[in-house]
Structure 1
Amino acid sequence: MSTLTLSNAWLSLQAHQSVMAQEHLRELFDQDPQRFNSFSLKFNDILMDYSKHPICLKTINLLLALARQQRLEDWISRMFRGEKINSTENHAALHSALRGEHPLMLDGVDIMLDVRRVLTKMDKFSSSIRNGKLKGYSGHAFTDVVNIGIGGSDLGPVMVTEALKPYSSNHITPHFVSNIDGTQLSTTLRRLNPATTLFIIASKTFTTQETMANARAAREWFLDQGGSEKDVSGHFVAVSTNRMEVEKFGIDSDNMFEFWNWVGGRYSLWSAIGLSIAIAIGMENFYLLLKGAREMDQHFITTPMEKNLPVILGLIGIWQINFFGTKSHAVLPYDQSLHRFPAYLQQLEMESNGKRTDRNGNEVDYSTGTVVWGESGTNGQHAFYQLLHQGTQVIPADFLAPCISHNPIGDHHHLLLANFFAQTEAMMRGKSKSEVCAEFE
C-alpha cells in the first residue's frame, strides 16, 4: 500500500463513500432546495454546476483535505514558477507562459522574450496570408491552408478552428491531415489547387513518422501538379525546433515558427502550433484566445481551492474514479462547434494521467485516470445515452452548452437547451421500478 492510500485523508474518503453510496441524488435535491447554489461556481461567463455528483459539503471538505495533504497549492505555484516538475524529462511545464504577460525566468533567461517574438512573427505572417499580400507561385492569394501534424499538433488546432468558425475568414479554408493511411491526405488534396494552397508542417522534431510521411507526399503532389522546387519554400512553412531538417525539406528557415521543450504537445495550441488557428480567425482573435486562457490561469493560481473551478473538477474526478470506481467519463457538448472537444480532452487527460508510477518511480495502487470519450448532443441521445440511462455501469457525464447560439435558426437553440436540461435532470433523478410500473398501469 502507498502512503497516499494509507493516509488519513484517503481513509476518511473511503469511509465517507460508503455513506454517500446509500444516498440517491434526487433525494439529496429534495432534501436541500438550495443544493444548486451550494454546488455551483461562476467564473466570468462560465457557470459550472457540479450539484449532480454524489457529494455533500462533507465530501468537498474531505477532498480539499486530501488536496492540502498532497500540497496541491504548492505544486501549482511550482509549475507556474517554472520549476522542472516534469521529473522524467527534467523539464518545466510552462505552457501557461505562452499566454503570459510578465517576465518569467527559466535557467536565467526570460522566456517571454522568445514567446513574444514568435507571436509577432505569427501575427505578421498570418496577416499577410489573410490580406493576400503573400501569394502563391501563380500570383494569386492563398485560398486553402493544410495543417499536417498529429497528436497535439493536430487535435488542438482542429478543435479550436472548429469551435471558432464564426470568427473565421470567409476566403481561406483550413484543412487538417493527421492519419498516415493516405486516405485523409488524398481526399483533402483532391479538392485543392496547388497554386493557392499553403502547407503547415507541424512537428517539433521534424522527424515524426506520420507527419513527415504526409509532408513528403504533399510535397510530391505539389510538384506533380505544377509547382516547382523553387516554389516549395513559398508554399510550405514549418512549426518545429529542428532547423536542419526543415531546411533539408526545402522550407526557408525564415518560415520556421519555433516552440520549446517546456511546451508539451497536448498543451501546444497556444504556441506556434496554433498558426493554422491564427490564419483562420485572425491574430486579433488569437490574442483574445490567449487572453481567455490567461484569465483562467490567474483564476487557477489565485482562487481559494473551494472556489477554484479546475481544482473542484479535478477533485470530483478523483472522487468518482477512486472511490466510486468509475472507469469511463463522457463529455457531451451541446454545440456542434465543439464536436472535436471530446477528442481534444481525451488526449489532454489520458496522455497526462496515463501513468502507473508516481513521480518517484513507485508503482501506484490507485487509479490515475479514466477513459474519456464523447459526442455532441443531441446526436449522442440517439446513439449511446441508452447505456448512460439504463446500463449497469455508472458513467459520469459532463454536459456543456452555450447560452447563446452563433446560428439562431427558428427555435433550434431552444430545443437544444431543452434537451440539454432534460437529459441532465433525467440522469440525476433516474426512475425506480415502481415508477415504471405505474406508467404502464
Structure 2
Amino acid sequence: MVESAQTFDKLPSVQQLVNHYNTTLSQTHLRELLNDENRNQHLRASLQNQDGSEVILDLTHVKVDEAAVKLLHQVTSDVQLHEKIEGMFTGQKLNNTEKRSVLHVALRMREDETLIVPDSTEGDAVKNVHEVLKRIHAFSELVRSGQVKGYSGKTLKNTLILGIGGSYLGPEFVFEALRQDASSKQAADGRQLKFLANVDPIDFNRAIQGLDIEETLVVINSKTFTTAETILNAVTVKNYIINHYKNLHPDVEDTQSFVQAHFCAVSTNLPLTSQFGVADDRVFGFWDWVGGRFSVCSAVGVLPLSLHYGYENVRDFLSGVKSIDDHFRNTHDLSQNLPVLLGLYGFYNTHVAGHNTRSILPYCQSLLKFPAHIQQLDMESNGKSVTKEGVRFTDGAQAGPIIFGEPGTNGQHSFYQLMHQGRVIPAEFIGFSQSQTPIHIDGYPVSNHNELMSNFFAQPDALALGKTLEQLKAEGVPEFLYQHKLFTGDRPSLSILFTGKLTAFACGQLLGLYEHRVAVEGFIYGINSFDQWGVELGKVLAKDVRNVFADKEKGQDVDVKSKFNPATAYLLEKYLEKM
C-alpha cells in the first residue's frame, strides 16, 4: 500500500490514471476503441452457474484501453483491495466510526460454515443466523398453512411491512422482482404483501386500502424499535386494529390480545417490542453488524418475503447472493471478478472520467424497484467526503455518484434524450435472455421480450457511436436539422446479461453484485461505506420543529422567530397559520 497518500486522489496510480485519461483517452472516441476486438475481448468477464446459465459483464463500452486497465489493477494493489475484502468476510471492524464488523455476508453463509465475530460475546455468527432462519421458516409455514390465525380466526393472507430506508427499499425490490417468477407467483397465490414506509398519513391509507385487517399480519422492521417514522406508523396501525375489533367486540377489555394476534417484529429491543404488545416468540432478531441498507438478507427481508412467497423461494434468493459472495471472495483474477470490476469501472467513470451521475437501467419490468434500492445502497454508503481516518478530501475530489434509473424501455421515453444529446451519464444496462412471462404474437416478427431486448443491445451502441454529420448527409437530412439530429456519441456504458430468466436465484446474484460493488468503490475511496452520519442532522432539527407543532396543537403560543433563522421562520409561520 502507498502509505504516503492521505486521500485516494493522491495515490500515484490514481494520478497516473487521471493523467492518462486526460491526455489520451479523452481524445479517443469510443468508435475507435470498439473496433479493436483484441481490446474488447479483455473487457468481458462471466460467472458460470451450476445450471449452465451465465452472468456476463461487458465493459467494452467504457472508455478504457490496455494502459488504463493496468493502472486500475495497480490501484487495487495500492489500496490493498484483496485484504479489505477478506477483512469483511472475517469480521474485521471495517465500520470504524461505530466500532462494528460488517458481516451481511454471514446472512448467506451455509449452516456448515463458521464465523466467530472478533471481540464479541455473541459467538458463531453463522450459527446465530441459522437459528433465526429456522424460526422464520417454522413461523412462516404456520402462518401460510393457516395454523396461526388472526384474532377473529381468519387465515392471515396479507402481510403489511412497516419500515423505512433499507427496511423497506430492499424487501420491496425483491418482492417486485419475484412477483412474476413462476415458482414465487404460485406460492403467493391468494396472498397480498404491502408496504407502509412514509410517515405521511396518505401512505397509511394507501397501504390499508383493500386489506381485510382481520386477515393481515403486520411486520414491524426496526432494529432499535425507536425509528420515529416506523414506530408512529406502527402505533397508527395498532390503533386502527384495536378500534376495528372494539367496534366488533365492545365488551372485550383486553385489547392486547388484538395486537398480539396481528403483529410480529424484526428488532433487537425485546423490552420495547413487548411493551408495544408483540409477543416475544414473534420477534426475530438481527445484529449490529448488519447495516439497514444491507439487511434484506436478514429477518428484515426474509421474514415478510417468506410469509408471502414461502421460505423455499427465499432460500433460493439467499443462495444466489451466496454464489456472488463466494465468487467475490475467491476470484483473485481481477479480470474475472465481477463485483470488483463493477467497482473499478464505477470508480473510473466517476473520478477519473469525471462523470458524477450513474443510471441503472434494467430491461426487465420486474426490476422496477431495483434502481431505488441501489440509489440508497450506493449513495448512503459512499456519499462521503472524509476518509476512514477523518481526513477531509481535497478540493475537487468526491466519492459516490448520483444514482437514478428506470426500467427500459420506459426510460427511453423519459430521460434518454438528455443521455444522448445532453449530459454524459454512464449507463448500466441489465438484461435477461429469457422472460419471466414470454409472449409471442402471431404476425409479429419477434416476441415481446425480443422487442425489449433489441433496445438493450442498441442503446449502448447509440450512446457510444452516435451519429455523424456524414451519416446525416448520406441520409438526406436537411441542413438546418444537422445540429439537431447530430449525436456526438462517446458516452460510456456497461452491460450485465443473465443468460436465463429473472429467478429468485438470479435476483440474489444481482443484489450481490451491487452490494459488493459498493464496498469495492468505498475501499478505493478509503471511506467508511458502512456508517451514515449524514442522515442525523436533519433528524435533530426536525425535533425542534416537531416541538413547535406540539405546542401549537396544545393551543399554546409559539414564537418561531426566536428559534429559527428568518428564512425558515417565515415559511413556518405560513404553515402554522393554516395547520
Aligned to 1:290: 318
Aligned to 1:93: 102
2: CA distance, partners of 1:330 / 1:395: 7
Shift in Å at residue 400 of structure 1? 0.6
Shift in Å at residue 185 of structure 1? 1.2
Aligned to 2:457: 421
- Larger relative contact order (CA 8 Å, sep ≥ 6): 2
Aligned to 2:73: 64
Runs ≥4 residues deviating over 6 A = none
Render the CA deviation track for 1:304-343: whole Å, top value 9, x for unaligned: 2221111111111111111111111000011110000000
Secondary structure, counterpart of 2:378 in structure 1: helix
Alignment of 1:21-420 (within 5 A): 21-30=26-35, 32-44=36-48, 45-101=54-110, 102-106=113-117, 107=120, 109-165=123-179, 166=181, 167-168=184-185, 169-226=188-245, 228-274=255-301, 275-304=303-332, 305-365=334-394, 366-391=397-422, 393-410=423-440, 411-420=447-456
Shift in Å at residue 34 of structure 1? 4.6
1: CA distance, partners of 2:464 / 2:309: 38
Shift in Å at residue 27 of structure 1? 1.3
Query: Does structure 2 conserve the Cα–Cα contact (< 8 Å) formed by 1:194 and 1:226?
Result: no
Q: What TM-score does the superposition give when structure 2 sets the normalisation length?
A: 0.74
2: CA distance, partners of 1:223 / 1:36: 63
Shift in Å at residue 396 of structure 1? 0.2
1:12 pairs with one of 12, 16, 23: 16
Moved more, 147-156 or 12-21: 12-21
2: CA distance, partners of 1:323 / 1:426: 23
2: CA distance, partners of 1:224 / 1:26: 67
Q: Which runs of 5+ in 1 are unaligned?
A: none
Identity of aligned residues (%): 38
Q: What TM-score does the superposition give when structure 1 sets the normalisation length?
A: 0.97
Shift in Å at residue 28 of structure 1? 1.2
Rg (Cα) greater in structure: 2
2: CA distance, partners of 1:113 / 1:38: 41
Shift in Å at residue 75 of structure 1? 0.7
1: CA distance, partners of 2:129 / 2:146: 26
Query: Does structure 2 conserve the Cα–Cα contact (< 8 Å) formed by 1:94 and 1:262?
Result: yes
Render the CA deviation track for 1:18-60: whole Å, top value 9, x for unaligned: 2111111111122x13544321111132111111000112211
Query: Does structure 2 conserve the Cα–Cα contact (< 8 Å) formed by 1:149 and 1:178?
Result: yes
Shift in Å at residue 267 of structure 1? 0.5
Aligned to 2:519: none
Aligned partner letter, 1:17: Y
Aligned to 2:472: 436
1: CA distance, partners of 2:375 / 2:79: 25
Aligned partner letter, 2:464: M
2: CA distance, partners of 1:198 / 1:27: 58
Shift in Å at residue 190 of structure 1? 2.5
Q: How has the CA–CA distance of structure 1 residues 29 and 219 changed in structure 2, closer, same or farther, with 3 Å as cutoff?
A: same
2: CA distance, partners of 1:427 / 1:368: 25
Shift in Å at residue 7 of structure 1? 2.7
Aligned partner letter, 1:361: G
Shift in Å at residue 363 of structure 1? 0.2
Query: Does structure 1 conserve the Cα–Cα contact (< 8 Å) formed by 2:217 and 2:263?
Result: yes
Render the CA deviation track for 1:93-131: whole Å, top value 9, x for unaligned: 000000112111113611122101100000011111222
Render the CA deviation track for 1:381-413: whole Å, top value 9, x for unaligned: 11110001111x210000111111111122210
Shift in Å at residue 434 of structure 1? 3.5
2: CA distance, partners of 1:402 / 1:159: 17
Secondary structure, counterpart of 1:238 in structure 2: strand
Query: Does structure 2 conserve the Cα–Cα contact (< 8 Å) formed by 1:130 and 1:172?
Result: no
Query: Does structure 1 conserve the Cα–Cα contact (< 8 Å) formed by 2:7 and 2:393?
Result: no
- RMSD of equivalent CA atoms: 1.4
1: CA distance, partners of 2:390 / 2:7: 14
Query: Does structure 1 conserve the Cα–Cα contact (< 8 Å) formed by 2:362 and 2:429?
Result: yes
1: CA distance, partners of 2:6 / 2:83: 21
Query: Does structure 2 conserve the Cα–Cα contact (< 8 Å) formed by 1:334 and 1:399?
Result: yes
2: CA distance, partners of 1:135 / 1:145: 13
Secondary structure, counterpart of 1:297 in structure 2: helix
Aligned partner letter, 1:219: K
Secondary structure, counterpart of 1:331 in structure 2: strand
2: CA distance, partners of 1:188 / 1:78: 41
Query: Does structure 1 conserve the Cα–Cα contact (< 8 Å) formed by 2:221 and 2:266?
Result: yes
Query: Does structure 2 conserve the Cα–Cα contact (< 8 Å) formed by 1:147 and 1:200?
Result: yes
Render the CA deviation track for 1:248-275: whole Å, top value 9, x for unaligned: 1111011000000000001101000011
